[in-house]
Amino acid sequence: MLVPPSYRRLKRGPQVILPKDIGLIVAYTGIGKNSVCVDAGTGSGWLAVSLARICRRVVSYDVRDDFLKIANRNKELEGLDNLELVNRDITKGISERDLDLVTLDMADSEKALKHVYKALKPEGFVAGYLPHMEQVKKFVAALEKRKFRNIFTVEAIVRDMLVRKEGMRPSTKGVWHTAYLTFAQK
């Protein structure tokens, strides 16, 4: 799969959320130029950088300083003054309020939902990036317990196409499963 030019210069350390999934997060949550978001599980910062390209303000939490250093390099490469990187465990609390979106890309992300619910504005979204079905089941059960609504899960699969003079067919390349995306609203 080809990486869009705007991502080619970004550094990678830990696994990144790919543009195919970032696009779904943006589309399903409706975030825009006036949105304020919190991202947890910064990793290399690809999602945080992508959100900051679109939104008014983004705060990204991670417990690993080594990941935040990579994300900070990506932030600086993009010149994003509206992206704040924070070394903190989101399961211990979120100081930001009236958020449009909280994204969770971390183990046991359901443990953050108590704080997420308080931090979101009415109609705000949470998006969980969950690699395994078992994680989705735990996350959805926790969303339901916390009274989130409009809960749904999707998976994006992208196949490259081989286009030639003699015909077109799916190529043997593509990005199949990366994670399930579970969305819910306050």
Q: Give the pLDDT score at 1.
A: 52
Contact 155, 181 (CB under 8 A): yes
- Mapped onto helix, strand or coil, the DSSP state of residue 45 is coil
How far apart CA 115 and CA 81 sit, in angstroms, is: 25
3-state secondary structure of 103: strand
Q: How much is the pLDDT for 24?
A: 97
**Are 99 and 124 spatial neighbours (Cβ–Cβ below 8 Å)?**
yes
| Measured distance CA(140)–CA(172) in Å, rounded | 34
Q: Which residue has the tokens 């690809």?
A: 46
pTM of the complete model: 0.92
pLDDT at 2: 64
Cα angle for residues 154, 58, 114 (degrees, 5° grid)? 60
Domains delineated in the chain: 5-185 (3.40.50.150)
What's the pLDDT at 12?
Answer: 81
Q: How would you write the pLDDT of the chain (186 residues) with one tens digit per residue?
A: 567 777 777 778 878 888 999 999 999 999 999 999 999 999 999 999 999 999 999 999 999 999 999 999 999 999 999 999 999 999 999 999 999 999 999 999 999 999 999 999 999 999 999 999 999 999 999 999 999 999 999 999 888 888 999 999 988 776 678 899 999 999
